[in-house]
Amino acid sequence: MLPMVVAGGLLIALSFVFGIEAFEQEGTLAAALMQIGGGTAFALMIPVLAGYIAYSIADRPGIAPGMIGGMLAANIGSGFIGGILAGFLAGYVALAVTRYVKLPSSVESLKPILIIPLVASLVTGLTMIYVIGEPVAALLNALTSFLESMGSTNAVLLGILLGAMMCFDLGGPVNKAAYTFGVGLLASETYGPMAAIMAAGMVPAIGMGIASFVARNKFSAPEREAGKASLY
């Protein structure tokens, strides 16, 4: 998922070079960059996240139901939290079908390409639509509304809260909720929250880089190399 986050975010940033609202003009380069980054790369993040969570649990049969569940999570508005839940649900349903559903030998070969994806996708999809999706979407909307209600009158407190959210789970649902909130404010020419978000997002990387340099013996060689990249 991370390459899509990086590529999509940079493409969106490049579209802002032409103006924060330049992408609204159809046919322009800014609009094309926003379509590639925001409309495509970012749209794939949650399905890919869910698909490979399911893959880590159930191997290849989990990919399709995981991605389907992740796409439903994105469409419903339950975001990264919904995608994570969809990935785990799809993975364990696919694993359960693999282990416990016994079929005649004549149709056993259809199990990984037909039976498992069908059953796991059905269970995951229905659960996302009727059980998980709406409550999680309401939770994320409530979080966004809470952040918006703080406004500029509590700028310091808002900056501290957004910074803490950015550092909390390093690309997870809490981190992305803060980032999405900041990006949404850019369109209204409110830049302060995004400044706090970007500054705070650098703290964990710099901290790990310094740690790998100061306490070298506590890190393996690959970790020390990764620390250099984090620091620089």
Please give the structure tokens belonging to residue 42.
Answer: 């970012």
What tokens appear for 126 in the block? 């229905």
Contact yes or no for 48/68 (Cβ under 8 A)? no
Q: Collect all residues with Cβ–Cβ distance below 8 Å to 158 and sequence separation of at least 6.
A: 147, 150, 151, 193, 196
pLDDT band at 97 (very low <50, low <70, confident <90, very high): very high
Query: What's the domain count of the chain?
Result: 1
Mean predicted lDDT score pLDDT of the chain: 85
Choose among 89, 7, 3, 84: nearest CA to 47: 84
Separation of alpha carbons 69 and 56, rounded Å: 15
Identify whether 126 is part of a domain: no
Domain annotation covers residue 13? no
| pLDDT at residue 23, rounded to an integer | 85
pLDDT for the residue numbered 66: 95
pLDDT tens string 15-70: 888 887 788 888 899 999 989 988 898 889 889 989 999 999 999 999 999 999 99
For residues 51 and 60, give the distance between their C-alpha atoms in angstroms, rounded to a whole number: 9
Range of the domain at 180: 151-227
Q: Is residue 170 part of a domain?
A: yes
Within a domain: 166: yes
* 37 in a structural domain: no
Closest of 85, 82, 174 to residue 134, by C-alpha: 82
How high is the pLDDT of residue 89?
A: 95
**pTM assigned to the model:** 0.70
The three-state DSSP-derived secondary structure of the chain is: CHHHHHHHHHHHHHHHHCCCCHHHCCCCHHHHHHHHHHHHHHHHHHHHHHHHHHHHHHCHHHHHHHHHHHHHHHHHCCHHHHHHHHHHHHHHHHHHHHHHCCCCCCCHHHHHHHHHHHHHHHHHHHHHHHHHHHHHHHHHHHHHHHHHHHCHHHHHHHHHHHHHHHHHCCCCHHHHHHHHHHHHHHCCCCCHHHHHHHHHHCHHHHHHHHHHHHCHHHCCHHHHHHHHHHHC
pLDDT band at 188; cut points 50, 70, 90: low
Residue 158 lies in a domain: yes
Q: Residue 199 falls within a domain, yes or no?
A: yes
Whether residue 85 is contained in a domain is answered as: no
C-beta contacts of 31-40 below 8 A and 24+ residues apart:
36/8, 36/11, 37/7, 37/8, 37/9, 37/10, 37/11, 37/12, 38/8, 38/11, 38/12, 40/8
Over range 199-223, report the average pLDDT.
89
pLDDT at residue number 71: 94
Determine the pLDDT at residue 47.
Answer: 93
